[in-house]
Amino acid sequence: MLKILKQKKDYLLINKPSGLIVHSDGKTQEKNLCDFLLEQFPEIQNVGEPLKLNSGEFIKKPGIVHRLDRETSGIMIVALNQIFFEFIKKQFQDRKVKKTYHAFVYGNLKDDLGKIDAPIGRSKKDFRQWFSGKEARGQLREAITEYKVLKRSKDKKLTFVEVYPKTGRTHQIRVHFKHIYHPLISDSIYAPNRESLLEFKRTALHSFKIEFCDLENNFIECVAPYPEDFSKAITALD
């Protein structure tokens, strides 16, 4: 289950499969990414910072610096020691880690290049959702997403895009593309009534590439190969 793309003394780069949650939410007993990490790297048990739940319970997140949604596949950094955890955490905070995603969205995006600058807050109606615009409530946090069109379907029903989130808000890419009326294909939360296209059975989002500096100040760049559903979808566009 643990697909390691690169292993160094301070970190791992892994390719998370769709369907796997990163860490426990305190409610379900299903196996998660942290469980698989601890099986192979038990020494990281106390690396990182625990998550405090609303109940007051603390959940350990060994090695986890950032996360991907359950249905999102692709590349993640895992810290193997606390020194690297603090180091890469600061890079994320300073927005020095560059993340590149690939996604399929409904409709034909008007521009080849775009920028979505829209603060994100909680949904007024559904605790699972986040929103930009008038439907958001509570504190609105800055959120910026840039994108580039890679390909459009001939029937103009969908667009394949490369996405560069400049901030790291929960569900940011999904929320922002819904905000501009082009939600991600097969997104059950932000496009629940839309027909799934290209046979996707999960949100069509893949964390494709990550770029950062290691402790020796070496520039690191790594790409996560596409899962089968993405490869098939891209071929179907040809």
Hey, which residues are catalytic here?
A: 69
Q: From edge to edge, which strands make up the β-sheet containing 130-132?
A: 130-132, 120-123, 136-141
β-partners of residue 162 are 102, 148
Q: Please give the Cα distance from 69 to 78 (Å, whole number).
A: 16
Q: Please give the Cα distance from 42 to 231 (Å, whole number).
A: 34
Q: Please give the Cα distance from 39 to 22 (Å, whole number).
A: 14
- Asked whether 124 and 196 are in contact (CB, 8 A), the reply is no
Alpha-carbon dihedral 186, 189, 192, 195, rounded to 10 degrees: -10
Which of 163, 146, 148, 159 minimizes the C-alpha distance to 74? 163
- Asked whether 144 and 175 are in contact (CB, 8 A), the reply is no
Q: Please give the Cα distance from 21 to 69 (Å, whole number).
A: 7
Q: How far out from the chain centre does Cα 28 lie?
A: 21
Which of 226, 224, 234 minimizes the C-alpha distance to 13? 224
Which residue is it, tokens 């560059």?
A: 98
- Asked whether 166 and 95 are in contact (CB, 8 A), the reply is yes
